[in-house]
Structure 1
Amino acid sequence: MGHPDNTYSLVADIGGTNTRVALADGRRILDDTIRRYRNSEFPGLESVLTRYIADESGVDPIAACVAVAGPVRDGRATMTNLDWTIDKDTLARATKAEKVAILNDLQAQGHALGHIDTANIRTVLPGPDAGPNAAKLVVGVGTGFNAAPVYDLEHGRIVTPSESGHANLPIRNEMELRLCQFVSTAHGFPAVEDVLSGRGLERAYAFLGQEANDPREAAAKDIMAACEDGSDPRAVEAAQLFTRILGTVCGNLSLIQLPFGGVYLAGGVARAFAPHLNHFGFGEAFRDKGRFAGFMSNFAVHVIEDDYAALTGSAAHLVALN
């Protein structure tokens, strides 16, 4: 069935593995228009959007916004974990939209805050009530890692981009130093993303095998499955190591950004870990800041369990541009 011309916005969430595309009516995503495409099957975003428009009966959107897993500068995005480059001209040509925008994927998650069903927000660490304009922080843990602060100002919301996943891993003890040395072989130095991502969980598992003189590999999904059924103690140990480092990094970012409005974890890996964060030591690592340990209780931590939040954020951003 066709759609009316110049009525809906086209929004897309481009991850390292998949691209999700949908139509939006204002901030509301039209659920029956959501489609998912494997990036490996396409040479670039333009071909994905061309396919989507054909799949949606040649829809002619009035606006388009894409959220990209990579840095955006001057309207041009370079994917961190995918060999695609995206700019506004390409987006306008592919969609024929009158207005186009490109966001970093964490910026899109930030624009989604306040527009996500509360049933899809899981609280990990409660915090005190905060004013509506209190700063927030979105932390993405999935194919990669990133974080973005969210500021609600008089003239509107600002979500500033970053590439936090490529900062150095924190080191608190000798074991973590050995982990840093182990993962530094991946890119020449130990980045946060080398541990805090799906591939990073696999590296943590492999590192523990090296520590035990019993090297084995396991896929991230199998590690998480083993955590559920208790079939592999090393999987549980890897998940605990991952969780403690996640807590440390999120605590560091919270002291830098002061998100009194809350920290929001997003992404597939964050959702997979959500039921385990408390008993795997996230809170203890998050608050382990010496004399600032009590101060850390100012920051609530939540997990966004809406797989399409970046689409909602992209739609909300287009509304705000009007």
Structure 2
Amino acid sequence: MTPELSLTVVADVGGTNTRTALAHGGEVDAASIRRFRNAEHSGLDEVLKRFLGDAGVARCDGACVAMAGPVMDGVGRLTNLEWEMTREDLAACTGAEVVSILNDLQAQGHAMDHIAGEKQRVIIAGPEAKPHDAKLVVGCGTGFNAVPVFRTDTGRYVPPCESGHVTLPVLSDDDVSLARHVTRAHGFPGVEDVLSGRGFERCYTWASGTDTHLPSSEIMAALEAGDPVATKAARAFVTALGRVMGDLALTHLPFGGIYVIGGMARALTPYFPELGFDEAFRSKGRFSDFMDRFAVWGVEDDYAALVGCAQHIRGLMVSPAERG
């Protein structure tokens, strides 16, 4: 079976839901996409067997799953659910000869060259990218992570990262105060302790100066209504996001663009101009002008991880000379 005619199964596995689909030669069959509630199943193998059985597929040529958690030595573990999958397990439950397990943001990285234009919007304009320029994918939703995407003559490479667990940058007295506040969560002021859904809620508690806790949806409603506490919380969040993304840009030099995904980033993007995202991103002292080299895009494609899985597994089925 040639890669272009291959039948593969792909899955995007989160803590609450798993999306599955069939793909042909790296192209996801949109009509085949299904969503399963994880609470109704004992593990990912059960989900995949049910999906393939319902689709009438006895075996497939390849299988690739993206998991919301760390992947090491071919073993993926969900962060917020006690599910584990090994390459051997994946081959056994799908019948596939070629298998791969990715972190969910890695899968997003493999999709970046295949996202439709209408699913992207400019946040910060930048120069036109060259074919082999590096890209950076930033995920800010339930959690936070960022991965570089390198396109070379031998294929696309998306190394795993845990960018959400580095130290939160602090510059002002307010930054120090917020860092001390979020340290209560895990004893360390990590980036994800602010830049995530739970982090947004911590920002609100900090901004209120009380123990008041609101879910992120209610904070967004208060922000839309012009509430000053919600505005202070959102400004702290957006400023931190700009600084962290600027740091990551200088670390990886993604002249091909920075692509932001995730529900929290998507919800707050309309407020970026008034809350100082651009200034926080560019404010790098003598390197501030250098930051003009990086375009920032918002991505709104709920199935990008499935596309990335399909493209990645197709790439594993071709020879190095054929990869691109």
Residues 1:89 and 2:88 are matched in the alignment: yes
How far off its partner does 1:58 sit?
4.7
Task: Tell me how far apart the structure 2 counterparts of residues 226 and 60 of structure 1 sit (CA, whole Å).
Answer: 50
Task: Quote the residue 2:270 is aligned against.
Answer: 275
Mapping of 1:129-278 within 5 angstroms?
A: 129-210=128-209, 214-228=210-224, 230=225, 232-278=227-273
Task: Tell me how far apart the structure 2 counterparts of residues 217 and 55 of structure 1 sit (CA, whole Å).
Answer: 43
How far off its partner does 1:231 sit?
5.6
For residues 163-196 of structure 1, the C-alpha deviation after alignment (integer angstroms, 9 at most, x for no partner) is: 0111111111121111111111211211111111
- Inter-CA distance 57–141: structure 2 relative to 1 (3 Å threshold): same
- Inter-CA distance 17–314: structure 2 relative to 1 (3 Å threshold): same
Provide the identity percentage: 51
For residues 62-104 of structure 1, the C-alpha deviation after alignment (integer angstroms, 9 at most, x for no partner) is: 2110011222222111223332222111111222222111111
TM-score, structure 1 as length reference? 0.92
How far off its partner does 1:61 sit?
2.5
Task: Tell me how far apart the structure 1 counterparts of residues 264 and 26 of structure 2 sit (CA, whole Å).
Answer: 26
Task: Quote the residue 1:103 is aligned against.
Answer: 102
- Inter-CA distance 105–234: structure 2 relative to 1 (3 Å threshold): same
Residues 1:320 and 2:315 are matched in the alignment: yes
Task: Tell me how far apart the structure 1 counterparts of residues 271 and 24 of structure 2 sit (CA, whole Å).
Answer: 36
Task: Tell me how far apart the structure 1 counterparts of residues 67 and 120 of structure 2 sit (CA, whole Å).
Answer: 22
Task: Tell me how far apart the structure 2 counterparts of residues 261 and 34 of structure 1 sit (CA, whole Å).
Answer: 30
Q: Is the 8 A contact 1:124 1:278 kept in 2?
A: no
- Inter-CA distance 60–272: structure 2 relative to 1 (3 Å threshold): farther
Task: Tell me how far apart the structure 2 counterparts of residues 296 and 114 of structure 1 sit (CA, whole Å).
Answer: 23
How far off its partner does 1:110 sit?
0.9
- Inter-CA distance 59–116: structure 2 relative to 1 (3 Å threshold): farther
Q: Is the 8 A contact 1:15 1:143 kept in 2?
A: no
How far off its partner does 1:39 sit?
2.6
Q: Is the 8 A contact 2:106 2:147 kept in 1?
A: yes
Residues 1:301 and 2:296 are matched in the alignment: yes
The letter for the 2-side match of 1:23 is L
Of 301, 311, 315 in structure 1, the residue corresponding to residue 306 of structure 2 is 311
The letter for the 2-side match of 1:94 is C
How far off its partner does 1:7 sit?
4.9
Q: Is the 8 A contact 2:134 2:256 kept in 1?
A: yes
SS in 1 for 2:137: strand
SS in 2 for 1:83: coil
How far off its partner does 1:33 sit?
1.4
How far off its partner does 1:278 sit?
2.5
> For structure 1, which runs of at least 5 residues remain unmatched after alignment?
1-5
TM-score, structure 2 as length reference? 0.92
SS in 1 for 2:273: coil
Task: Quote the residue 1:68 is aligned against.
Answer: 67
Q: What number of residue pairs does the alignment pair up?
A: 313
Q: Is the 8 A contact 1:267 1:307 kept in 2?
A: no
Q: Is the 8 A contact 2:207 2:230 kept in 1?
A: no
For residues 224-254 of structure 1, the C-alpha deviation after alignment (integer angstroms, 9 at most, x for no partner) is: 23333x1633223222211110000000000
Q: Is the 8 A contact 1:204 1:241 kept in 2?
A: yes
Q: Is the 8 A contact 1:16 1:82 kept in 2?
A: yes
Structure 1 range deviating more: 45-54 or 284-293? 45-54
